[in-house]
Structure formats: structure tokens, C-alpha cells
Amino acid sequence: MAEKISKNAIGQLYEKYRDSLMVIACSYTHNRQDAEDLVQAAFLKASLSYEPRGSFLYWCNKVMRNEFYNSVKKAEMMADEPIDTMALRSQDDLLLTYIHNEERAKLATMISMLPLKYREVMMDSVYLQLTDSEIAKERGTTDTNVRQIRSRAKKMLIKMREDEDEGYR
């Protein structure tokens, strides 16, 4: 039987992985409140079902992805006129969607590795689609500073991607 995670360890894990999980959740939901709800629900399920054999972050991300897809399916089922989107797509469309989703997941993972101020600006800009003015107001800075932070974050992401590609050669 697998060991249970102690209450203290759960709190430490949550603090350690919350920001990374929020970036990934925002990439799914495009809404901060929905992302917070998703992270909390997924974290709870992941911590209850985790067996210490591998990365907790990986396991929690997998649980979160499943939780998100289940919520989307549930919402479609509750809609007045449910649409079978899978039946409407061709195999090529499904493959392109899968590839696009994998690329988004990689981007979210890389964004989660950025320093805090860069991560927050990229999350607000890319996933929450806030304007520079909205981000600046929220952060107590200027539009110009937001653009500079985003530009530097993009350079960091490009460097991460290049380093990743180098690893495959």
C-alpha cells in the first residue's frame, strides 16, 4: 500500500507547485478564477491519489488536464444543443489540434519556469489576454515597462526553446 502524504507535506507541495500549475491551468481556461478552481480541484485529487513513484508535478498536471477535459465534456452535455465536436472534425483536424495542444502545454511549462515578474506578465498577456494597460494597472507600473518585461520574457523563452532543440540534436 502506498504511503499517504501528510497534511504538512500537502501544504508544502501546494506552495511549491501552485504557480507552475496556475500557468498551465490558465493555458486551458483563459480565466484566472477558473484556473484557480481547476488547480485547487486537481491538486486535491492528485494529492489523494498520488503514489510516490514519480514526479508529483507531472501527476498533478495529468490530473488537472483530465479534470479540465471532464469539465468541458460536462458543460457540453448540459448545453441545450450539445454538439459532438469530435464527430465534426476530420482525422487531420484532430491531429493538428493535438499537436497545437502539445505545443501550448510545452509553452505553458516553459512560462512556468520564468522568474516571477516575467511569468506573471506572460500569463496575463498570453493566457488571460489582458492589454498592456490592464497589466500595467494591475502591477502598478507603466505600459512601456510591461512591454519591456514581455520582450525579455520572450527572449528567455526563445533561448529555452533553442536549448531544448539543441538537446535533441
- pLDDT in 10s for each residue of the chain, 169 residues: 344 556 777 788 888 888 888 888 887 887 888 889 999 999 989 888 888 777 777 788 888 888 888 887 777 776 655 544 444 445 555 556 656 666 777 788 788 888 989 988 988 888 778 899 999 998 899 999 999 999 999 999 989 888 877 766 5
56 domain-assigned: yes
Nearest to 17 by CA among 69, 54, 59, 68: 59
Contacts of 83 (CB under 8 A, 6+ apart): 76
Q: Residue 22 belongs to a domain with what CATH number?
A: 1.10.1740.10
68 domain-assigned: yes
Contacts of 125 (CB under 8 A, 6+ apart): 132, 135, 146, 150
pLDDT at 129: 81
pLDDT at 6: 67
Using an 8 Å Cβ cutoff, are 141 and 133 in contact? no
How many domains are there within the chain?
1
96 domain-assigned: no
pTM value is 0.54
13 domain-assigned: yes
pLDDT at 87: 45
Using an 8 Å Cβ cutoff, are 58 and 75 in contact? no
pLDDT at 17: 84
Give residue 12's domain range. Answer: 1-82
49 domain-assigned: yes
